[in-house]
Amino acid sequence: MADDRTPIVTLGGVEKHFGAVHALDGVDLSVAAGECVGLVGHNGAGKSTLMHILAGIGMPDAGSISIGGVEQGSYTVGLAQRLGIRCVFQELSLCPNLTVAENTHVTHASIRGIGWRGRAAALVVHKLDEVFPGHGIEARDVVADLPIGKRQMVEVARAFTVTQDPLKLVILDEPTSSLDAHTAGQLLAFVRRATGQGISCILISHLLGEILETANRIVVMRDGKVVASDRASAFDRDRLVTTMGGAEQHKKTVRDTKAKVRGSTPVRVSARPKLQADAAQLIAHRGEIIGLAGLAGHGQTRLLLDIFNASSRRIPGVEVTMPVALVAGDRQTDGIFPLWSIAQNIGIRSLKRLRRGPFVASDLETQFADGWRQKIGIRSPDLDNNILSLSGGNQQKTLFARALGSDASIILMDDPMRGVDIGTKLEVYDLIRAEAQTGRTFLWYTTETEELGHCDHIYVFRNGCIVADLDRSELTEQKVIQSSFAEGAA
């Protein structure tokens, strides 16, 4: 029923490149009035880039944008705003030093003059009441003082407020990521009401249940392309997962090695999360691959960082017996050194061993890097090229080479496969298994349930605590999801 309405937005053949990476590779998308489009795809599939273009933040390298049937030549943030397109981004776009009411003025320039503060407050509080009844937020609260969930509520409510500009389309990029089950439910119910009143929404979420329940139509992206677009009722969970490109892995996860008896090798890591009230703790033995599961941001990264810290100083509740290396998932902020060559990026963790006397020897550095290039298959003509000349997957391989090439016997992995293509993933899985065979211990936080199949033992996290402790033989996606959502939400 959505198809016969006039499209609010039409994107045609949109392309966007970042260096060697094709973030978007010819995307067509249109959204009709009163339609809720669910947009799904793995991390790095191009969803966020596409939304940035729609919001006028980045210009596409090729392709067209039409709003309300009019093709836009120079499309900017201001124009998007005037044409009624709003965005709720993953990275919060509130000013932390301003109050809730003041932040409302930021997106509503027309609220000004005497009494602007009161009008802005009324506007946003009214909308908060409408979307999140019982929210407990006041207009004069400074945003920095609010917990992250409430900030997200303010951000969502602000996007739906209307003054002089029309409101046609709201893009919600992972709007429920910091909300609890109750407020997430309130939000999704509101989205359904809003679309009923003719407002369009694009909903991006990694929680497929949310998408299936809320969207009228679902668009699936993979590797910068739209690979499927159909009525929501035509999809179910399995079809979504298959279309997103997770299916090939299922066959691969069957491991040839026989299950080892736990505890036959010495303990390498024992760690208890700070918020853990009971005695549960994470244990990793020599040669084990340990999975850290659960929803994103529930304390897995924090525990990994505690373990990382424990290798250099005392951290209460965490014991580490061997050198530790970490493979970052967020390459840009935690991993690569953007001014350096590929070889320098690989060698940095092992420079001590690449010296002659006190000096770093460049031939040793090159040799070392070259050895790992072949072992891990980094596709680059010259290791002296800048790291940014590599595609995302190969940059990630560089980080793996840095950690695996080091003297560390414990490797921490912080959701390292984000935005990595399937070919690279399979190569790296094999390598991890081979390294574990030689006695290395892996602690692997992943948001992709399929990857847990590679682990010997899995700890499921919720609200900063370990809530379940599963052996590989008892692992099912069902079990992980059940433990991730305590009271059977979602």
Residues that bind another protein (CB under 8 A): 55, 57, 76-78, 81, 87, 93-98, 102-103, 105-107, 109, 111-113, 116-117, 145-149, 177-178, 180, 275, 296-299, 301-302, 308, 312, 325-326, 328, 330, 332-340, 344, 348-349, 351-352, 355, 358-360, 402, 406, 463-464
Q: What is the C-alpha to C-alpha distance for residues 444 and 480, in angstroms, rounded to an integer?
A: 15
CB atoms within 10 A of CB 106: 14
User: Please, what is the minimum distance in Å from the beta carbon of residue 404 to another protein?
Assistant: 13
Question: 158 vs 217, which CB is nearer to another protein?
Answer: 158
Among residues 78 and 198, whose Cβ is nearest to another protein?
A: 78
Centre a 10 Å sphere on the Cβ of residue 404 and count the other Cβ atoms it contains: 23
CA 365 to CA 14: how far, in whole Å? 41
Q: How far is the CB of 323 from another protein (least distance, A)?
A: 8
The residue (of 30 and 81) whose beta carbon lies closer to another protein is 81
Do residues 129 and 135 lie in contact, with contact meaning Cβ atoms separated by under 8 Å? yes
SS (H, E, C) 283-309: EEECCCEEEEEECCCCCHHHHHHHHHH
Query: What separation in angstroms does the CA of 241 have from each of 206, 482, 485?
Result: 11, 18, 19
Q: How far is the CB of 340 from another protein (least distance, A)?
A: 7
Query: Taking the complex as a whole, how short is the minimal distance between the CB of residue 72 and another protein, in angstroms?
Result: 15
Residue entry with tokens 């549960």? 280
- Is residue 211 within 8 Å of residue 204, measured between CB atoms? no
Q: Cβ of residue 411: shortest distance to another protein, in angstroms? A: 12
| Selection from 399, 354, 145 nearest residue 390 by Cα | 399
First CA to last CA across the chain, in angstroms? 26
- Quick one: 34 or 335, whose CB is closer to another protein? 335
Question: How far, in Å, CA of 362 to CA of 380, rounded?
Answer: 19
Nearer to another protein, 296 or 434 (CB): 296
Rounded distance between C-alpha atoms, residue 291 and residue 229, angstroms: 33
Nearest to 31 by CA among 168, 174, 210: 168
Cα distances from 464 to residues 125, 144, 272, 369, 458, in angstroms, run 31, 22, 10, 37, 15
Whichever of 331 and 457 has its CB closer to another protein, that residue is 331
C-beta of 437: minimal distance to another protein in Å?
24
Q: Which is nearer to another protein, 103 or 391 (CB)?
A: 103
Could you give the residue ranges of the DSSP H alpha helices within 197-335?
208-214, 237-244, 248-252, 300-310
Min CB(260)–another protein separation in Å? 29
* Shortest CB 200 distance to another protein, Å: 20
Task: Give the helix/strand (H/E) hosting 189.
Answer: helix 181-196
Q: What angle do CA 195, 297, 212 make, to 5 degrees?
A: 30
Kindly state the smallest distance separating residue 229's Cβ from another protein, in Å: 28
DSSP H or E segment with residue 81 = helix 77-82
* Nearest approach, Cβ of residue 1 and another protein (Å): 34
Comparing CB distances to another protein, the nearer of 180 and 248 is: 180
How does strand 169-173 pair with strand 85-88?
Answer: parallel
Q: Smaller CB distance to another protein: residue 231 or 353? A: 353
CB nearer another protein, residue 7 or residue 416: 416
